[in-house]
Amino acid sequence: MADPEIHHETQPINQIAIDYTPEACTHCPESNSITLTYDHRGGARWRSTTRFLYGTFSSLIQCPKGNTSGLNFNMYLSSLEGDKSQDEIDFEFLGKDKSIVQTNFYASGTGNREEIHDLGFDCSDAFHEYVIKWCPNFIEWLIDGKLVRKVEKREGMGFPEKPMFLYASIWDASSIGEATWTGPYIGCDAPYVCLYKDICVPSGTAVECSCDS
C-alpha cells in the first residue's frame, strides 16, 4: 500500500455536477466558491465529477443564518449517494443547533457511528475550515486545524474502501426521527444560504468512473 502521506496534497475543485435543483446552486470556479440555497424550491446537492481513493478533502464553510431548524447542511464523501451499499464519511450540521456538528462514517451501507462535537462557535457567524483526511488505515476529521475525531481501521470493523465523490447539500431532514434529529422545519428565515469556498480535493488520486457505476 502506498504511503498515505502522498495523498495529502490537494488542488482546488475545478468542476462540479449538480444532482438536483441546479437553479439553487451557484458555482464560481474563478473564486473556488459554491453557494447552496434552500427555499420554496427545496434544497440542492453538488458533487465532484470524479471519485477519489483516499486523500484530504477540505472547504471553508459558512452555514445558513437565521432559524434553520429542520435543515441539514453538510460536506461528505460517498461512493454513490442513494446506493444502499455505499461507503461514506460525513460532516453534518443539524439545523436545530448551530453550535454542534455530527461526524459519521459508513462501510458497505452500515453506519450508526455518529458522534456529536461541540464547535465552540455558531457555524453561521463566519467561515470555518472543515477537513476530512481519509487514508487506508484511518480517518481524521479536523475543524480549523484541530483534530476532533480519529478512527483507526481495526480487524473485523467495516471501513470505507470504495472510491468516493465529494458531496455537499442542504435539505429538509425534519421527517427523520419525527424531527428529533434536526428539529421541526420552521422556515421563517428562508431563503437559507450555505456558502463554501476554497474547496480542495486530492491531487493525483482521482478515479475516473461514471456516477452510475
Residues known to be catalytic: 88, 92
Confirm if 171 and 71 have CB atoms less than 8 A apart: yes
Backbone conformation region of residue 85, classed left if phi is above 0, alpha if psi is from -120 to 50, else beta: alpha
What gap in Å lies between CA 47 and CA 169, rounded to an integer? 9
User: Strand ranges (DSSP E) for 16-127?
Assistant: 16-20, 25-28, 33-38, 44-48, 51-52, 55-62, 71-78, 88-94, 100-106, 115-118
* Percentages (nearest 5) of helix, strand, coil residues in the chain: 5, 50, 45
Backbone conformation region of residue 166, classed left if phi is above 0, alpha if psi is from -120 to 50, else beta: beta
User: Strand ranges (DSSP E) for 107-191?
Assistant: 115-118, 128-135, 138-143, 146-152, 165-172
CA torsion sign for 93, 114, 158, 143 is positive
